[in-house]
A = this chain, B = another copy of it.
Amino acid sequence: MKIRINITLKPSVLDPQGQAVATSLLGQGFDNIKNVRQGKILDIEFNSKEVDINMINEMCEGFLTNPLVEDYAIEEINT
């Protein structure tokens, strides 16, 4: 089984990296840009065909994300 975890900064958290990308794109002439925010993807492949969602949440909250400043969303990937 394969899942994708989309990790994004909470809306209230400043994102200087995203702002740098926005500034850079504006400088390249893409003047339609309003805002850019950056996030992370983790594609995780498991040995088994079924995975306990509680285990995935435990993994995300304990190790893969910082729950203070980050949100995450889990989706299954079909391969």
Which A residues fall within an 8 A CB radius of B?
Answer: 6-8, 18, 21, 24-25, 28, 30, 32-48, 51, 55, 59, 62-64
Contact = CB atoms under 8 A, between A and B. Distances in A.
B42 A38 contact: yes
Number of copies: 2
Nearest 8 interchain pairs by C-beta: A39-B41, A35-B45, A34-B45, A37-B43, A32-B46, A34-B47, A36-B44, A32-B47
B40 A39 contact: yes
21 contacts: A6-B41, A7-B41, A8-B41, A8-B43, A21-B42, A21-B64, A25-B63, A28-B63, A32-B47, A32-B55, A33-B44, A33-B47, A34-B45, A34-B46, A35-B44, A35-B45, A36-B44, A36-B45, A37-B43, A38-B41, A39-B42
